[in-house]
A and B are shown apart, each in its own frame.
Chain A
Amino acid sequence: GENVEQHPSTLSVQEGDSAVIKCTYSDSASNYFPWYKQELGKGPQLIIDIRSNVGEKKDQRIAVTLNKTAKHFSLHITETQPEDSAVYFCAAIGGGADGLTFGKGTHLIIQP
């Protein structure tokens, strides 16, 4: 089955700086890679996703890159703000009505 590794587990950056979270996956059949943000007491919220036929996708301050050959994908947040503080999860999914395989999460802390 799929295995997703996520790094780092904790990331502290100064407000205004950029944050990068990296993930690798094992199943070459995986074709969809979403990123979720989870705030305390809430469910995971989809913030951006990328499909295997695309190498990069951007939405305002958030971007995701995908390298299918190397089987890794990354989340980039620019101009970080205090409200970006949360736990971020990467995930991957293969064919059919599969469940998402999640990474173990990154606790992003934005220092004022």
Chain B
Amino acid sequence: DTAVSQTPKYLVTQMGNDKSIKCEQNLGHDTMYWYKQDSKKFLKIMFSYNNKELIINETVPNRFSPKSPDKAHLNLHINSLELGDSAVYFCASSRGVDSNQPQHFGDGTRLSIL
């Protein structure tokens, strides 16, 4: 069983479109995250949610809006997609809000903007 699952795995779309990426975890974790990995493989935190509430919102354009309908899901909606949004987006989850809890990652969504 996949612990952290993301859909879709690949997303190819035109500049200016709006798209969503879904994430679900079946680990019973309270905290979920979105990370962005650029073409040089650099991983950077975007958002963190704990029990459906936003905890971290790094310097991310407000075109990116996370939505957490329940603590097992954290979706990422992106408006007006730009070329620079092309990257791999990873969802992760961890138990509780303690900083020393292991984070478990999904296999990523590769977003390509044409």
Contacts and interface: CB of A to CB of B under 8 A. Distances in A.
Interface in A32-50: 32, 34, 36, 38, 41-46, 49
A44 B97 contact: no
A43 B99 contact: no
Contacts of A105: 41-43
Given A32-B99, A44-B90, A96 B55 contact: yes
Given A43-B90, A89-B43, A104-B41, A98 B99 contact: yes
A45 to B, nearest CB: 7
Nearest to B106: A43
A98 B48 CA distance: 7
A101 B31 CA distance: 16
Interface in B26-79: 31, 33, 35, 40-46, 48, 50, 55-56, 58
Given A43-B90, A46-B102, A93-B99, A99 B48 contact: yes
A99 B107 contact: no
Contact of B107 (A31, A43, A46, A94): A43
Interface of A: 31-32, 34, 36, 38, 41-46, 49, 51, 87, 89, 93-102, 104-105
Contacts of A51: 100
Interface residues of B, number: 29
Given A43-B90, A43-B106, A44-B105, A102 B42 contact: yes
Nearest to B96: A97
A46 B50 contact: no
Contacts of A99: 33, 35, 45-46, 48, 56, 58
Nearest to B58: A99
B99 A97 contact: yes
A43 B103 CA distance: 11
Given A89-B43, A102-B43, A97 B107 contact: no
A56 B90 CA distance: 29
B104 interface: yes
A98 B90 contact: no
A81 B53 CA distance: 43
Given A44-B105, A95-B99, A97-B97, 6 more contacts: A34-B103, A46-B103, A96-B97, A97-B31, A99-B45, A100-B45
